[in-house]
């Protein structure tokens, strides 16, 4: 009862809203739970979720916002599966919870061609390029206004400088791009 099961809403192409109370007891979003829900517009993660399965939101082409931080509350997220946000072609922002510190594989956002920013508040969270999708591939698909947002001198800040991504200092209106 604390799980949105594997394939629960997969291919529900007309599903527009999936509103779960942020204080619900959902702990796990199963593999392919919202796979190819092309009309799903927005998803706010319930705070108790600790695990998001492989491809849970893959192909949600109509989704513009995926808030893994439950509108500023602290989500207990510990594990994110492969390809979880892949081909969310309308996704404009991705917001991670403060305490999530595991690696962020950039292949998770392959095909997310409308992405304007990714907010990573944890200074220790690392960007990694695995599964054949490179930092160069990511740069080619992102719109010109894209930036990563995070703390000064964080892992995400270092990666942004190394790979010439725009960077916004967390909770400040200061941007930089090292070319």
User: Is 106:135 a contact under the CB 8 Å cutoff?
Assistant: yes
User: Is residue 70 scored above 90 in pLDDT?
Assistant: no
User: Is residue 27 scored above 70 in pLDDT?
Assistant: yes
* Residues whose CB falls within 8 Å of the CB of residue 33, separated by 6 or more in sequence, listed in order: 4, 5, 6, 7, 8, 9, 10, 53, 56, 57
Using pLDDT thresholds of 50, 70 and 90, give the confidence band for residue 73.
Answer: confident
| Token pair belonging to 63 | 């989704």
Mean pLDDT of the chain: 93
Predicted pLDDT at 1: 63
Q: Is the pTM of this model over 0.75?
A: yes
175: helix, coil or strand?
Answer: strand
Least Cα distance to 87 among 114, 60, 52 occurs for: 60
Answer with the residue of higher pLDDT: 35 or 68.
35
Query: 92-147, pLDDT tens digit by residue?
Result: 999 899 889 999 999 999 999 999 999 999 999 999 998 889 989 999 999 999 99
């Amino acid at each position: 009862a604390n799980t949105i099961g594997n394939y629960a809403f997969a291919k529900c192409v007309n599903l527009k809203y999936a509103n779960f109370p942020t204080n619900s007891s959902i702990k796990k979003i199963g593999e392919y739970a919202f796979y190819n829900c092309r009309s799903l517009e927005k998803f706010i993660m319930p705070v108790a979720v600790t695990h998001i399965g492989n491809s849970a939101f893959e192909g949600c082409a109509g989704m513009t916002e995926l808030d893994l931080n439950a509108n500023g509350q602290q989500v207990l997220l510990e594990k994110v599966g492969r390809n979880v946000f892949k081909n969310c072609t309308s996704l404009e922002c991705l917001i991670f919870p403060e305490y999530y510190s595991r690696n962020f594989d950039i292949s998770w956002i392959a095909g997310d061609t409308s992405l304007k920013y990714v907010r990573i508040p944890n200074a220790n969270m690392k960007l990694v390029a695995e599964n054949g999708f490179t930092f160069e591939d990511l740069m080619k698909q992102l719109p010109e206004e894209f930036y990563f947002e995070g703390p000064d001198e964080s892992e995400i800040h270092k990666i942004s400088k190394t790979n010439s991504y725009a960077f916004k200092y967390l909770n400040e209106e200061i941007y930089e791009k090292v070319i």
